[in-house]
Structure 1
Amino acid sequence: MFKVDVPPGLVQGDVDEGYGPVADAFRRNFAERGEIGAACAVYRDGRKVVDLWGGYRDGRTRAPWLRDTLVTVFSTTKGVSGLAVAVAHARGWIDYDATVATYWPEFAGNGKAGVTVRQLLAHQAGLAAIDRPLTVADLADLDVVADALAEQRPAWRPGTRHGYHAISLGWYEGELLRRVDPAGRSLGRFFAEEVAAPLGAEFYVGVPDTVDPDRIAYVHGYRPAELLLHLGTMPRGFVFGFLNPRSVTARSFANPKVLSQTGNYNLPEVRRLELPAANGTGEVRAIARAYGDAATGGATLGLGQSTLDALVRPAQPPTGGLLDVVLRVPTVFSLGYVKPFPRLRFGAAGDQAFGTPGAGGSFGFADPETGIGFAYAMNRAGFHLWDDPRELALREALYRTVLGERTQRPDPR
């Protein structure tokens, strides 16, 4: 694993009075937990109370992480992209309990006619892996992608099981949004115009060529085989599935194969794609800002009470139980988000929070109970599905030490 010593002077930013424990934990990540470059931001009741960044945006060249550094956040993108779908719901374009085929007739083929939007967004549709081989060039053509999605046959009866739609969820969300938006915009364009712009937040689903690539943090990734060295932190079933190219786990992450390695997200041709589940790139404070709006009524985004009520409501689990067919551990999903459960406790005790963690350790979420929008991202990929020790230390400092809320550590049972 790539390591580099980071001088204390490269840790910058500020926090409001009372939030010093979060800054302390952030500094310890560099001193004790192998951090190379990272940022953390927190909004509370609409006000930015934590804004920290530090280390190197590129550990190879020792280029410092600056205030405006952008970073790719992998599946933390899912939650940010999910706000675009939530905006569509708030505008009356989407009913979560309607069938996807209501809006996208071609989707009905091959046993998908009864799949609801709610099931799709909860990873219950059986569409985690796409059988048609796709190339990077294919992914740049939304019509080609839509055809591949529409012809896919579910891997299980929708609603009976769930399995992490690691890459495909974003494509399905994007095509659904393209169908219901009167302007027919892609999710990346819709997000830019209807989410990022109103918030004044710099975050991209598909990095435009106008963005200076030197502003983007270099991801210090790992080869898939290195997962075998971390069976104590990664679920064994997930690791062995990921390394078996025929498994639904591997096929969910590796079509095309270039998407299966974290380091490949440094490639300009991958950054440029619209991968609404995987390659969102932006300022970390932009994620916290977006979730902060959702946590405090969604006025800037116009989410409305019915949409917010749907997002905080407990998940509707599949009839066959919580074991994730792809990740091979229990998970809980709702409307494009992860919801708190014993193995991933985040937010306050009422479990109204919603968000998504990303490969390597990033995490962003909204917690309406405390009015918190939280985000952390880094450029050294770690080996946890969630609760990376660096991120967890920040969240624990915020919730236990500052807010006096419940521990964020998982239930050991």
Structure 2
Amino acid sequence: MAELLERGAVGLQVAAYHQGRLVLDVQAGDVQAGGRPVGPGTIFWVASAGKVSTATALHLQVERGLLSYDQTVASIWPEFGVGGKASFTVRDALTHRVGLPDLPADATRQRLGDWEWVVNRLAGATPTADPDHHNTYHAMTWGFIVGEIVRRSDAANRTFEDFVREEVHAPLGITDVWHRLPAATHGRVAVVRGDLLKDDPFTWTVTEDDAINTPEYWDRVDPNGGWMTARSGARLWAMYAQGGELDGVRLLSAERVRECLEPRAGDPAAGGLVGPWAFIGQGALMLGGAAPAHADVLGFGERVLWHPGVGGALGFADLDAQLAVMICHNELFDIRRLPAHPFAGIVRAVQAEVLH
């Protein structure tokens, strides 16, 4: 961590669970340049690394027999079946294969805060026929599609955020993972900045006064991303590392977790938006062993589930080592442009500390 701070990182959190126990919870740096130190309760925006909550919610409903991966999306969400989407299955939606990678052209920041507006527009949209985009990473739309499927399978008719909090986080004792930040937490949020994407397909640079760093942004539901502390994020990954169970609470069956290790149908590569290391599994999580360079890039073994966030945050579960790790930070970088992930050294250091 000291080396990363010397290279320009501002603030970092790293937490690890091994065999279901919290064994590492460390912090370094500041919540913003020149600001107060990062603490264990500092909250970080982790972008798509928060997708693990959304995916888990859908798996839970399948576990309960309320959804099937093989049923069509239209069977539970009839409005979705128009425009050539009638045959798409829940699994297709889960694995980014429904040809809707782009937000509606008239989406605004205000409209993205209106759940009903977003899901209604996606339901009425026509999927792309371009194979390169039909079967690619749905960065900003996936969470709304999967989240609406979850919501419609809920007999209590809860909002997406309430369902995730009550059915995924609370049973595992997770208190600091959110898809919408409560007002009481705003004073704990680290300020993010840096380059998320450069040039391809577009440039996205975040400054300290960007909307992402404002209460207005924090107050909208984001099923494609999230905010968390590393300790709470690692706890969710620990459930996967323990085969679906943590502290006597079984959320998913061991068989369902193992199925997540299988590549999705078609091409498992997530595409250029995410970078060359991201391969999508049957459970929507990324596969650690699918990319030949993973052993060099991030030190992952074969039976690893993980998810990156744009800007570099990541969490993973090593099922063989029963190790779960979450890395949060606030100096963002475009991982696609780098020969190796800057956090590879942290991953290896945690493995060395915990496993040897």
TM-score range, shorter chain: 0.7 to 0.9
Q: Separation in 1 of the partners of 2:270 and 2:229?
A: 33
Residue 274 of structure 1 corresponds to which residue in structure 2? 221
Structure 1 position 53 matched with structure 2 position 44:
no
How big is the shift at 1:297? Answer: 2.7
Residue 313 of structure 2 corresponds to which residue in structure 1? 362
Q: Separation in 2 of the partners of 1:293 and 1:144?
A: 33
CA displacement, residues 198-229 of structure 1 (integer Å, 9 cap, x when unaligned): 22221111112232x221001123486xx3xx
Whether the 8 Å contact between 1:347 and 1:367 is mirrored in structure 2 is no
Residue 304 of structure 1 corresponds to which residue in structure 2? 253
Q: Separation in 1 of the partners of 2:335 and 2:26?
A: 23
Whether the 8 Å contact between 1:39 and 1:54 is mirrored in structure 2 is yes
Q: Separation in 1 of the partners of 2:151 and 2:205?
A: 28
How big is the shift at 1:89? Answer: 1.9
Q: Separation in 2 of the partners of 1:387 and 1:205?
A: 31
Residue 346 of structure 2 corresponds to which residue in structure 1? 394
Q: Separation in 1 of the partners of 2:8 and 2:300?
A: 28
Whether the 8 Å contact between 1:194 and 1:301 is mirrored in structure 2 is no
How big is the shift at 1:240? Answer: 3.2
Structure 1 position 156 matched with structure 2 position 156:
no
Q: Separation in 2 of the partners of 1:354 and 1:328?
A: 16
How big is the shift at 1:330? Answer: 7.3
Question: Residue 97 of structure 2 is aligned with which of 96, 106, 124?
Answer: 124
Distance of aligned partners of 1:140 and 1:285 in 2 relative to their CA distance in 1, 3 Å threshold: same
Q: Separation in 2 of the partners of 1:330 and 1:286?
A: 25
Distance of aligned partners of 1:165 and 1:223 in 2 relative to their CA distance in 1, 3 Å threshold: closer
How big is the shift at 1:87? Answer: 1.6
Counterpart mapping for 1:162-181 below 5 A: 162-181=135-154
Residue 231 of structure 1 corresponds to which residue in structure 2? none
Three-state SS of the structure 1 residue aligned to 2:239 is helix
Counterpart mapping for 1:333-348 below 5 A: 333-334=280-281, 335-340=283-288, 341-345=291-295
CA RMSD of superposed structures (Å) = 2.5
How big is the shift at 1:310? Answer: 2.0
Distance of aligned partners of 1:47 and 1:217 in 2 relative to their CA distance in 1, 3 Å threshold: same
Question: Residue 200 of structure 1 is aligned with which of 154, 159, 173?
Answer: 173
Residue 334 of structure 2 corresponds to which residue in structure 1? 383
Three-state SS of the structure 2 residue aligned to 1:242 is coil
Whether the 8 Å contact between 2:238 and 2:322 is mirrored in structure 1 is yes
Which consecutive unaligned segments of at least 5 residues does structure 2 have? none
Whether the 8 Å contact between 2:240 and 2:257 is mirrored in structure 1 is yes
Whether the 8 Å contact between 2:305 and 2:317 is mirrored in structure 1 is yes
Distance of aligned partners of 1:241 and 1:181 in 2 relative to their CA distance in 1, 3 Å threshold: same
Three-state SS of the structure 2 residue aligned to 1:75 is helix
Residue 237 of structure 2 corresponds to which residue in structure 1? 291
How big is the shift at 1:261? Answer: 4.8
Three-state SS of the structure 1 residue aligned to 2:83 is coil
CA displacement, residues 295-326 of structure 1 (integer Å, 9 cap, x when unaligned): 113222521233223223x213426x747265
Which consecutive unaligned segments of at least 5 residues does structure 1 have? 1-25, 228-238, 244-259, 405-413
**TM-score, normalising length: structure 1:** 0.76
Q: Separation in 2 of the partners of 1:323 and 1:175?
A: 22
Residue 33 of structure 1 corresponds to which residue in structure 2? 7
- The letter of the residue matching 1:240 is D
Whether the 8 Å contact between 1:38 and 1:376 is mirrored in structure 2 is yes
Structure 1 position 318 matched with structure 2 position 278:
no
What is the aligned length?
A: 343
